[in-house]
Amino acid sequence: MLYQLYETQRALLAPFAEFASASSKLYNHPLSPFAHGPMAQRISAGFDLMHRLAKEYEKPQFEITSAEVDGVQVAVQEQVAVKKPFCRLLRFKRFTDDPVALADMKQQQPVLVVAPLSGHHSTLLRDTVKSLLQHHKVFITDWTDARMVPTDAGPFHLDDYVAYIEEFIRHIGPAVNVISVCQPTVPVLAAVSLMASRGEFTPRTLTMMGGPIDARKSPTAVNNLAMNKSFEWFEANVIYRVPPNYPGASRRVYPGFLQHTGFVAMNPDRHLSSHYDYFLDLVRGDEESAESHRQFYDEYNAVLDIAAEYYLDTIKVVFQDFALVNGTWHVNGQLVRPQDIKTTALLTIEGELDDISGAGQTRAAHDLCTGIPKSRQFHYDALGAGHYGIFSGRRWREQVYPQVREFIAQYGGAPQRKSAAARKAKPKARRR
């Protein structure tokens, strides 16, 4: 019923959102007589803010059309490498006529970025992809909104997530380097562990960033909610069926709007202040700051539904049973054994100010991967970085990415020849 009520509210607000948008333009357009009144700018700013608070936010696009390789701008085309019911494996294919850049691109190592399936779309990692494209062939998991998946596609469990990652790794091949961000650190470690246990090839490097490998360490508000409520409580209170106006009608999901409400509730003052600053920027005519606000919230407010089976499995396995660290997790009947990983180099990254994955949660992977030589295990603390700062923004570009780039260059089989920027960067990650 709650989902239906939300859809009704959204339908009722839609015309008001459009009215607010039109009114904002009416009081802002230079040819409009209303734009020249004494309060026109404030009225326009108020209507604009109303529009953004009431509008429906659709899935953003990556909009990555170019990248710089060896100082040369190359074209980038988004391609679907593998299509599954609940996920697309996207490749950002680079093109150039420059012979030097082309030769370098052919030698560069492939990277699989595993985006979180925890509310936001994979476009949240746009900055991550842009940086990686300078030195790597880039693939990313683009998870599908569960409300758009027909019920005849069947359920989607945490075991299916792990199987997807295994399939994507096999598709890219033995040269692959894997980067997991936030929630996927657990299923990615499981996928690599299972492949190692079967004697399959494993990624050359594994970089895990801000994930709940061991959620018992420095628990955050997110961890506490999952640990303090019973499994039955989650099943009874946050799982709803998709309304009939979507392809996935009647599918059981954890709705995106509930997740978004939770995100906002964690820092309501910060969001209130941000919207007020946006209003002031519009009044002052500071379009650059206003556009920055729009870009952030276009991404932040766009959320997806998660299949109920996957969400509930994650709650139980990761946050209640701690099955990975306890050595009791079976995926499709096979025990997950991180100690079987032998040849993959491991880098863990944590943000100093991360309020989603606490200190030590990601680093705990080193205690599990005892088969990896200590000389191939590294950890990096990103000083001053919050959860989003380790994969997006200035700290990602200036602090974190150089560590990731040098790690892959050293242990991912990258060619000896490096760009000038790579030669200048000095790794700061500490060996375990």
296 and 340 belong to one structural domain: no
175 and 271 belong to one structural domain: no
Residue 428 counted as domain residue:
no
Per the structure, how many domains does the chain have?
2
Residue 285 counted as domain residue:
yes
Residue 421 counted as domain residue:
no
Q: What is the dihedral of CA 370, 372, 375, 381, to 10 degrees?
A: -70
Dig out the tokens for 248 from the structure: 């996935």
What is the C-alpha separation between 352 and 359, in angstroms, rounded? 7
268 and 184 belong to one structural domain: no
377 and 400 belong to one structural domain: yes
Output the pLDDT for position 430.
65
Dig out the tokens for 327 from the structure: 């050595």
Q: How many CA atoms lie within 13 A of 187 on its CB side?
A: 28
181 and 98 belong to one structural domain: yes
What is the C-alpha separation between 303 and 175, in angstroms, rounded? 33
| CATH number of the structural domain spanning residue 122 | 3.40.50.1820
48 and 101 belong to one structural domain: no
Confidence band of 428 (pLDDT split at 50, 70, 90)? low
Residue 248 counted as domain residue:
no
129 and 30 belong to one structural domain: no
Dig out the tokens for 57 from the structure: 């936010």
- Tens digits of per-residue pLDDT, 239-256? 999 999 899 999 999 999
Last residue of one domain, picked from the residues 269, 300, 331: 300
The arithmetic mean of pLDDT across residues 24-31, rounded, is 93
Instruction: Sheet containing 252-254: give its strands across.
Output: 240-241, 252-254, 306-307
Residue 244 counted as domain residue:
no
Last residue of one domain, picked from the residues 243, 274, 300: 300
Dig out the tokens for 271 from the structure: 């969001």
415, pLDDT greater than 60: no
- Alpha helix (H) ranges present in 92-230? 99-107, 126-132, 158-172, 185-197, 221-228
Residue 239 counted as domain residue:
no
The arithmetic mean of pLDDT across residues 133-160, rounded, is 97
Output the pLDDT for position 220.
87
131 and 171 belong to one structural domain: yes
Q: How many CA atoms lie within 13 A of 205 on its CB side?
A: 26
Through-space distance between the first and last CA atoms of the chain, rounded to whole angstroms: 51
Residue 141 counted as domain residue:
yes
Confidence band of 408 (pLDDT split at 50, 70, 90)? very high
209 and 176 belong to one structural domain: yes
Output the pLDDT for position 227.
87
Output the pLDDT for position 429.
65
122 and 146 belong to one structural domain: yes
- Tens digits of per-residue pLDDT, 293-340? 999 899 989 999 999 999 999 999 999 999 999 999 999 999 999 999
Taking alpha carbons only, the member of 49, 60, 54, 55 closest to residue 24 is 49
Mean pLDDT estimate for the chain: 92
This prediction's pTM = 0.90
Output the pLDDT for position 423.
38
224, pLDDT greater than 50: yes
426, pLDDT greater than 90: no
Last residue of one domain, picked from the residues 277, 300, 323: 300
52 and 75 belong to one structural domain: no
Output the pLDDT for position 266.
77
Residue numbers of the domain that contains 13: 2-56+256-300
Q: Which helix (H) or strand (E) holds 316?
A: none
With a pLDDT cut of 70, the percent of the chain lying above it is: 96
Residue 425 counted as domain residue:
no
- Cα 399 to Cα 152, 382, 395, distances in angstroms: 45, 7, 5
Dig out the tokens for 115 from the structure: 């985006």
48 and 82 belong to one structural domain: no
